[in-house]
Structure 1
Amino acid sequence: MTDEDPQEWDWLPRRTSTLTRMAIILASLGVAVLIAALFVKGWIDDRLDPPGDEGSELVVNIPQGASINDIARIFEEEGVVANSTVFRYYLRYKDAGDFQAGNYVLNQNMSVWRAKDVLLAGPAPGPADDAIRVVLPEGLTLAQVQAELLSQLPTFDADDLARALAFPPVRSRHQPANSTLEGMLFPDTYHLDSATAEDEAALIVRLIGQFDTVASEVGLATAPDTVGITPHEAVIVASLIEKEALVNEDRAKIARVIYNRLAAGWPLQIDAAVRYAVNKPSEPLTRADLAVENPYNVYNRTGLPPGPIAAPGRDSLIAALNPANGFWLFYARTDDPVVGAHTFSATIEDHEAAVAVCREKNLGC
């Protein structure tokens, strides 16, 4: 037996320790990758086949020339599938395409394979071809939504609809306690089957569900981090934007004016909120209107009104969460550079000049 080199005893333990550490690191990485893979798999599985039973039946129209992307978007907006991207990739993975235009009878909360099978079967014959189309434009108050539904759906009972609006079966996840559905019924085009056209509560549930779907898509829950207010307050801001903006390019700027005035402790002085307070949708406001004691009168008090003043659309919700950068505190309609455009000002002098243009053009200032 030969004598052992003392230096060999010095490095052998360190080599063993390094191997052990590498093994631990590799094992940890393997566990992390496994956990991530399981999380991703679970996320995808829930979007391929959402948990719970299928929801209410509805008729969805696929327009002529709609692509797979269009169909996936429509199905997500209608609540048929959980995620348009996952559904789109599933259809392409299954080499499914060239679907026929027409009306399809589906259910909310469907699995992607069930939705695909309905598409492959083609448009539903008979009653589905007579699907009822209901259009709710942006900017309607709750009372106006109620009137529109009664006008467009003669099968609805006025008392049952009023009851469904006052005591809805579900609430939006962004709706505070003791608040109404004002601003929580998403403005959109809805295709109803004959059953839903006679079920007031079912349609209200669908309108609330569509609001929550769009709210999730635009990131409403991030409002405390992005703009420093609650999600419901962001809906209030969006409703003010919806009633004030006449062109899409102004929405984010109006949002900035609102936030700048809130930060400065100034009254918002937004006419649309006063119109809501005194129930004057279009008539000229008087000095008495601007002085009325009402929590929605943002001329004689600071802060936001206590609730939305109308149903905001997607663009207004996005603007409320993504205000433009600027120091503006005022805006006035000048129709420059396009009809409906406002001029935004940081000083009272510039604002007065814009107001002079507004009055010269008789634009309502």
Structure 2
Amino acid sequence: MTGGAGSGPASDPGPADTQDWDWLPRRTSTLTRIMIILASLGVILLIAALWIKSWVDARLDPPGEEGPELVVNIPRGASINDIARILEEEGVVANSTVFRYYLSYKDAGDFQAGNYVLNENMPVWRAKDSLLGGPIPGSANDAFPVVLPEGLTLVQISDQLLTQLPTFDAGELARALASPPIRSRYQPPGSTLEGMLFPDTYLLDSATAEDEAALIIRMLRQFDSVASEVGLDTAPDTVQLTPYEAVIVASLIEKEALIDEDRAKIARVIQNRLAAGWPLQIDAAVRYAINKPTEPLTIRDLEVDHPYNVYNRTGLPPGPIATPGRKSLEAALNPVDGSWMFYARTDDPVVGAHTFSVTIDEHEAAVAVCRERNLGC
């Protein structure tokens, strides 16, 4: 370009310095500019600090009146983390992390095991004082655990509860499972509680060992709490699934993965097959469809006409097939990068490990190893 800015008279002052700070007057001194910037940052930091203080205050002393009384069990050997988590799950305190830091700040935490009469929606200092006041006399020896592992179906959960809790009535439990007093906020209308009752160890006492609905409520609340912690609400953005669909994926992972390292890889295979429009071809879904938990599947099994048969249908099954744990929920929301379309158990490099493949030839080689080692292929 031959003309440009040099085409005017020689005495012309030329264009303004493009690197100058145009948003400030040209005659403003450097010191003044720095002071204005620092003042602006100070205002931003002040606003952030006020917002954080407001957020913490709302969790130290939740708005509204305290809720109804409830009996909360603190088990033997429970840490401060355990106690804070239990109180949040029961709705006593608004946030377990804030409560935990408050107890640390107050140097409080030597609490006895047992049952405590607390209220929902308590300020943290009231909850602390109630815990320091000690449990209901004699209740420390009254608690016992109910263990529900990952990967159970609703039918299996019912069987486990009736086995572990002789005080439960089968009819009342069936009604609580079919028509619970509350629903998970991740549960769409018309769906059952399948996959929505969190697998965990629940501590009961004589006062709660005869209340079927109360335990179902605790399990639903625990599911919602864990699901929120792992980010289930972000599923539409992170994995392009609804939260409920992400639970379905997590349930498939729970039944298929035998070691933790495989969970996120199985999640990736599911995502890749969904994107390609391939059937998922997951045996666990077929087993759920035909109620065949352990016996080998036959060709006829894989051809059954059923919504959960993902061998002859594309897309996800209509609902979860089991209760996913925290790790499977996390994997469903965070699949690792990879182009795999297949997996088969080979126990290589460790027992329970799957081999993940991109091509059908690679997969057939892995299946041959699976059959050679009699691993269920």
**Is the alpha carbon distance of 1:286 and 1:56 closer, same or farther for their aligned partners in structure 2, counting shifts above 3 Å?**
farther
SS in 1 for 2:209: helix
Instruction: Tell me the CA shift for residue 197 of structure 1.
Output: 1.5
User: Residues 41-120 of structure 1: matches in 2 within 5 Å?
Assistant: 41-51=53-63, 53-54=66-67, 57-64=70-77, 67-77=79-89, 79-100=91-112, 102-105=113-116, 107=118, 109-120=121-132
Match of 1:274 among 274, 286, 295: 286
Q: Which amino acid aligns with 1:293?
A: D
Which amino acid is 1:247 matched to?
I
Structure 1's unaligned 5+ residue stretches are: 1-12
AA aligned opposite 2:70: E
Of 195, 203, 209, 1:191 maps to 203
Q: Residue 113 of structure 1: CA displacement?
A: 1.8
Q: Which residue of 2 aligns with 1:4?
A: none
- Give % identity: 77
Query: Which residue of structure 2 lines up, in the alignment, with residue 9 of structure 1?
Result: none
1:243 is aligned to 2:243: no
2:242 aligns with: 230
* Contact 1:106/1:115 (<8 A) preserved: no
Q: Secondary structure at the match of 1:212?
A: helix
- Out of 230-239 and 331-340, give the one that drifted further: 331-340
Q: Deviations over 1:249-295 (max 9, x none)?
A: 11000000000100111000000000010011112211111111111
| 1:76 Cα deviation after fit | 3.8
Task: Give deviations 1:48-75, integer Å, cap 9, x for gaps.
Answer: 23345446634433443x5534543454
Do the aligned partners of 2:176 and 2:212 also contact (CA within 8 Å) in 1? yes
User: Where does structure 2 lack aligned partners over 5 or more consecutive residues?
Assistant: 1-24
Equivalent residue for 2:22? none
Report the TM-score, using the length of structure 2 for normalisation.
0.84
Note if 1:156 corresponds to 2:168: yes
Partner of 1:202: 214
Task: Give the AA of the match of 2:266.
Answer: I
User: Residues 46-104 of structure 1: CA distance to partner in whole angstroms, max 9, x if unpaired?
Assistant: 3223345446634433443x55345434544555433222112101221213444x334
Tell me if structure 2 keeps the 8 A contact 1:183–1:235.
yes
**Is the Cα contact below 8 Å between 2:72 and 2:90 reproduced in 1?**
no
| Counterpart code for 1:322 | N
Once the two structures are superposed, the pairs formed by residues 202-221 of structure 1 within 5 Å of their partners are 202-221=214-233
Q: Which amino acid aligns with 1:68?
A: I
User: Larger helix proportion, structure 1 or 2?
Assistant: 1
Separation in 2, partners of 1:230, 1:90: 36
Higher mean alpha-carbon deviation, 232-241 vs 123-132, is at 123-132
Structure 2 match to 1:315: 327
What is the letter of the counterpart of residue 323 of structure 1? P
The 5 A counterparts of 1:293-312 are 293-312=305-324
User: Aligned partner of 1:127: which letter?
Assistant: S
